[in-house]
Amino acid sequence: MKLDMYVIKDGKRLRCGYTTGSCAAAASKAAVLMLETGKIPKYVEIDTPAGVKLKLEISDPRIGKGKASCSVIKDSGDDPDVTDGMKIYAQVEKREDAEIFIDGGTGIGRITRKGLFGKVGEAAINPVPKRMIEEEIRKISSKGYNVLIYAPQGEDIGKRTYNENIGIKGGISIIGTKGIVYPMSQEALIKTIYMEVDAVEDKYGKEKIVLVPGNYGEKLAKSLGLKSGIVKVSNFIGDSILYIYSKGFKSMTLVGHIGKFAKLSIGIFNTHSSVSDARMEAFIYYLSLKGAPKSLLESVNNCLTAEEGLNLCIEAGYGSIVEDMEKGAEERIKRYLKDEDYPIKVIIYSMERGFNMG
């Protein structure tokens, strides 16, 4: 059943969903019920760490000799999650003892580096979902079970996540600290960035790290020879650099588009348009320092895009404003970190001109 629970984000009413961990717990409980009673439940209820009780529909039930399996379809609500609509399966098999052993099968990724939520080689099933699975089983049985969580679509869908960047290969993760998906959770995005930083530290050490907003920035960074230790930070520049600095990295290089980094150049560390849109103000600030005529300032102020503003600057002979913005961004990052001697390099590009602003 779809979760009738909503949050308000940016003035919009968005429906919440439930995590892969909740799906795994519900499927596990249903499969045990099938073995214990010989009956197939249409729905099962589970509790979540968020304090929300879920009633989830059961699909694909199968009962064999001492073994049963079924699935629950993941519902991410209004969150743009690639796992939305996929089936999370649980197969349970009776044990001779009273232990519950949980593992991952087809489509569940495996941990490939230290420092994550389990040991290298283990299935990527987070501690909270494991606890949920065990608690839901214990509500209906004191017997022992081997529990296998699997997802036939998991390997393909896993390639569309950040899993490989953070050290999980071969599929999706069974995750969820609260059991509920809150649409467009900023906390979850930032946590993913931190995990990518940890992966860079694990693989390359702390000598240097490269930050880019997204895929295109990553491509251009590689074209400059900055091939190792690249982390995509989206709009969360401030959170990212503070975490990297606290980890003890010796230097940072940031490569980004003029639209985002114009904001950074005047000290804006969350560059999302819903937080701030001061691109033209940044151009006007740096043009004013150069003594640009008021007519140019007014023309730039009327521009709708940073690319358009940049073109006007270049045509008027002020192409060096990009270098000023780069230097300004470096100075503001150092102030933000409260370390004037920290090695920072900021590189700005344009979609139209690349790095060539002449």
Give exposure, 17-52, as e/b (b: 16+ Cβ within 10 Å).
bbbbbbbbbbbbbbbbbbbeeeeebeebebbbbbeb
* pLDDT tens by residue, 2-22: 889 998 877 789 999 999 999
Cα–Cα nearest to 346, from 213, 229, 249? 213
Cα–Cα nearest to 172, from 163, 181, 182? 163
Q: What pLDDT shows up at residue 216?
A: 87
Contact 261, 254 (CB under 8 A): yes
**Long-range contacts of residues 184-193, Cβ cutoff 8 Å, at least 24 apart:** 184/9, 184/14, 184/79, 184/80, 185/79, 186/236, 189/234, 189/236, 190/236, 190/239, 190/240, 192/162, 192/166, 193/231, 193/232, 193/233, 193/234, 193/236, 193/239, 193/240, 193/243
The amino acid that residue 241 corresponds to is I
d(C-alpha 242, C-alpha 302), whole Å: 34
d(C-alpha 314, C-alpha 222), whole Å: 26
* pLDDT tens by residue, 69-79: 999 999 999 99
Q: What pLDDT shows up at residue 215?
A: 84
H or E stretch at 272: none
Per-residue pLDDT 10s for the chain (358 aa) are 788 999 887 778 999 999 999 999 999 999 999 999 999 999 999 999 999 999 999 999 999 988 999 999 999 999 988 999 999 999 999 999 999 999 999 999 999 987 778 899 999 999 999 999 999 999 999 999 999 999 999 999 999 888 888 889 999 999 999 999 998 778 888 988 999 999 999 999 999 999 999 888 998 999 999 977 999 999 999 999 999 999 999 999 999 999 999 999 999 999 988 788 899 999 999 999 999 999 999 999 999 889 999 999 999 999 999 999 999 999 999 999 999 999 999 999 998 888 866 5
CA 229 vs CA 204, 238, 346: distances in Å: 7, 18, 16
Q: What pLDDT shows up at residue 358?
A: 56
Distance between terminal CA atoms of the chain? 58
Q: Structure tokens of 299? A: 């023309």
d(C-alpha 240, C-alpha 85), whole Å: 31
d(C-alpha 80, C-alpha 67), whole Å: 35
Neighbours of 315 (CB within 10 A): 11
Q: What pLDDT shows up at residue 185?
A: 74
